[in-house]
Chains A and B, each alone.
Chain A
Amino acid sequence: MRVLLVEDDVGLGQAVKQALQEEGYAVDWAHEGEMGQDLALLEPYDLLLLDWMLPGRSGLEICSVVRSSGREVPILMLTARDAVEDRVTGLDRGADDYLVKPFALQELLARLRALLRRKEGVSRDPVLKAGEVHLDPSRHEVTKNGEPVSLTKKEYQLLECLMRHPGQVLSRDQIAAHIWDYDRSATSNVVDVYVRGLRRKLGDENLIRTVRGAGYQLEP
């Protein structure tokens, strides 16, 4: 899962970025509004975390621009304003949720998970399921037939990415864009090696199907 964080406060931005990375998200951090908006329109993020007050362009403006471009990516606004009118303005402009500073990182992470879950629209069950393979995003656990499967961080992210788009064919570039951020981008044939490792560890050659010339697909 790849998240865009737009936050001008260096201390807070660093803390949030680190916390998200430790949770296994790929994170790009824009320090000001202009760059944040460009990235939001350019890259296939799974979630946007926008600060309200930003130099260059406010979080609210970015929110409007992203929505008017037709993107349905979940947006979580971070702000120090907690007047009711402000919250209403934010939500009306297209934000999905709202977190008032200061906030607990635990709550931020939980809200992110909730937003990602809602976005799928497929199931309200927080645990993702594909055949005998279960993935619990809140606990970072993968099990097959109830037995825990030990995955590396990136393998876990790859599996989560595929499981959130069941039945959909994802190209290697699409997958790469979801699990690597700008600082640690990787060439797309690295994805092949990861898929191979995932199949081996899951002991299942058929769960992730190779679609020749197109990419990969999780058996629905």
Chain B
Amino acid sequence: MGGIRGRLTLWYVLLLFLTLLFFSVVVYLGVERSLYRWFDHDLAQEVQQFARESELEDDGELDLEYEVLSHGEEVAVYDPQGVLVAEVGGLAPPGPLRLETGFDTHFKNGVPWRRLTIYAPSVKLWVRVSRSQEDVRASLRALFGLLLVGVPLTVLLAGAGGLFLASRLLNPLDEITRRAATLGAEGLSERLQSLESDDELARLVETFNQMLGRLDEAFARQKQFTSDAAHELRTPIARLLTRAEVALSRPRESEEYQASLNEIREGLESMGTLVAKLLALARSDAGAVAFEREPLDLADLAADAVFSLQEEGGAVRWETYFAPAPVLGDQTRLTELVLNLLENAVRHTPEGGTIKVSTSQRKGQAELSVHDSGPGVPEDLKERIFERFYQAEASRHGQGAGLGLPICRSIVAEHGGEIFLQREAAQRGAHFVVRLPLSRG
């Protein structure tokens, strides 16, 4: 007991009790009222019949129809002056009395008696009949007793039933809790056994399992990322270490030292770049970097980036078409995005190949499209190339390290946009499309 089960039952019982209490009061008061009304009605009918059927005989004898009265009533008959003429019961005052038509109630030995007084014109006499209300009171007492026992009993039974139902409902939850408690000790690969039923709880288990699945995946990705990062860093470190050890192994000319140090510096620089990229990704994952929102035009960014790459030289042809594509964003991050995509295109385009770059507005979005004439990306790798450290081809290009596209994706996500590979016929190169929310005005 305890917990939801107890609370649920308690509330249920309390509500039921209040409902039944209200119901009982209404019923009791209703019955009481109608019983007394019916009593008065019956008494009046009898008394009227008694008055109607009693008559003055020819000989002046008074013939009173006592048989009409069948409930042990007391009767008193008075003449118009209020003097007692006849009676049954022996308790009527002899008079003379001032009499009036109507009901009244008096008590005899603690029992209420209802008394009706009427004038009987046929005999020119007052008739006064009293009937005990003990029967009505007994009925009401019986009803009260019934309710007094019945209500608590009902509440008790319903409470037990409620507890039973609540338990039945909640037992699977206990089961789920117990199973979930044993999970995690051995890792995230386990799943809860699904329930046979097809209800909310089964769906809960299902949802829980799906969540475990996603966590499992994220966890695995994180592990992969860490080990990849360690590998990426360990290789150049080993190379630099070897380089330094060779240089130190015996006395050398200063030119040789200089060459070694230069090589080591270059290696450290590229490691620095890699670490900076990893840091940028980690910060972006953590949502830690607040970035600017400035009005910018993708067309300008792309044009400037293409221009600066052209200045560097290279043996590719550029085909560009820049239509205005205003966005709100962080200039540094978006410039990195454009540069990453363009450098990626240059890396994969053979000498003499063409790279098409364009910007446009489409369906309320600013679009940047970069289409190289390299080997393209196989259909089944279209998602994987956005994964960290993943590289489509086996050969690794020094600085590449497979972080460019993941960084692109995180920049695009920060700006509330999307990046994807456009579907192309085979051997037509990779075609990246970035869509960002268009800024108005």
Total residues of chain B contacting the partner, CB 8 A: 23
- Chain A positions 168-217 with a Cβ under 8 Å from a chain B Cβ: 180, 183-187, 189-190, 192-197, 200, 210
Q: Can you list, as one digit per residue, whether each of B6-41 has a CB less than 8 Å from chain A (1) or not (0)?
A: 000000000000000000000000000000000000
CB of A154 within 8 Å of the partner chain: yes
CB of B146 within 8 Å of the partner chain: no
CB of B332 within 8 Å of the partner chain: yes
Query: Which chain B positions have C-beta within 8 A of A200?
Result: 300, 304
CB of A153 within 8 Å of the partner chain: yes
Q: A190 to B336: give the CA distance in the assembly, Å.
A: 7
Query: Which chain A positions have C-beta within 8 A of B292?
Result: 153
Known: A193-B301, A200-B304. A184 touches B331 (CB 8 A): no
* Contact between chains at B273 and A187 (CB < 8 Å): yes
Which of B197-205, B305-313, B363-371 is near enough to bind chain A?
B305-313
- Residue A153 contacts which of B276, B294, B304 (CB distance < 8 angstroms)? B294
CB of B360 within 8 Å of the partner chain: no
Q: A25 to B437: give the CA distance in the assembly, Å.
A: 28
* Contact between chains at B304 and A190 (CB < 8 Å): no
Query: Which chain A positions have C-beta within 8 A of B280?
Result: 185
What is the predominant secondary structure among interface residues of chain A facing chain B? Answer: helix
Query: Which chain A positions have C-beta within 8 A of B332?
Result: 154, 180, 184, 186, 190
Q: A190 to B105: give the CA distance in the assembly, Å.
A: 108
* Contact between chains at B335 and A193 (CB < 8 Å): yes
CB of A64 within 8 Å of the partner chain: no
Query: Which chain A positions have C-beta within 8 A of B300?
Result: 197, 200
* Contact between chains at A184 and B335 (CB < 8 Å): no
* Contact between chains at A183 and B289 (CB < 8 Å): yes
Number of residue pairs A-B, CB distance < 8 angstroms: 54
Q: A180 to B288: give the CA distance in the assembly, Å.
A: 16
Q: A214 to B308: give the CA distance in the assembly, Å.
A: 15
* Contact between chains at A196 and B307 (CB < 8 Å): yes
* Contact between chains at B276 and A193 (CB < 8 Å): no
Q: A155 to B331: give the CA distance in the assembly, Å.
A: 9
Query: Which chain A positions have C-beta within 8 A of B305?
Result: 193, 196
- Chain B positions 258-313 with a Cβ under 8 Å from a chain A Cβ: 273, 276, 280, 283, 288-289, 291-292, 294, 296, 300-301, 304-305, 307-308, 311
CB of B339 within 8 Å of the partner chain: yes
* Contact between chains at B291 and A154 (CB < 8 Å): no
Query: Which chain A positions have C-beta within 8 A of B338?
Result: 193
CB of A152 within 8 Å of the partner chain: yes
Closest chain B CB from A159 CB (angstroms):
14
Interface residues on A, range: 20 to 34
Known: A185-B276, A187-B273. A196 touches B308 (CB 8 A): yes
* Contact between chains at A189 and B339 (CB < 8 Å): yes
**CB nearest to A190 among chain B residues:** B335
Q: A195 to B308: give the CA distance in the assembly, Å.
A: 9
Query: Which chain A positions have C-beta within 8 A of B339?
Result: 187, 189-190, 193
Q: A183 to B331: give the CA distance in the assembly, Å.
A: 15
Closest chain B CB from A130 CB (angstroms):
21
* Contact between chains at B291 and A193 (CB < 8 Å): no
Query: Which chain B positions have C-beta within 8 A of A193?
Result: 301, 304-305, 308, 335, 338-339
Q: Can you list, as one digit per residue, whether each of B227-255 has a CB less than 8 Å from chain A (1) or not (0)?
A: 00000000000000000000000000000
Q: A183 to B280: give the CA distance in the assembly, Å.
A: 8
Q: List 30 A-B contacts (CB under 8 A).
A: A152-B294, A152-B331, A153-B331, A155-B331, A180-B332, A183-B288, A183-B289, A184-B289, A184-B291, A185-B276, A186-B332, A186-B336, A187-B273, A187-B276, A187-B336, A187-B339, A189-B308, A189-B339, A190-B332, A193-B304, A193-B335, A193-B338, A193-B339, A195-B308, A196-B305, A196-B307, A197-B300, A197-B301, A200-B300, A210-B311
- Taking Cβ atoms with an 8 Å cutoff, the residues of A that contact B are 152-155, 180, 183-187, 189-190, 192-197, 200, 210
13 new A-B pairs (CB below 8 Å) besides A152-B294, A155-B331, A197-B301? A154-B332, A180-B332, A183-B283, A186-B336, A187-B273, A187-B276, A189-B308, A192-B311, A193-B304, A193-B305, A193-B339, A194-B335, A197-B300
Instruction: State the 7 A-B residue pairs at the shortest beta-carbon distance, nearest first.
Output: A192-B308, A196-B304, A197-B304, A193-B304, A186-B332, A193-B305, A190-B335
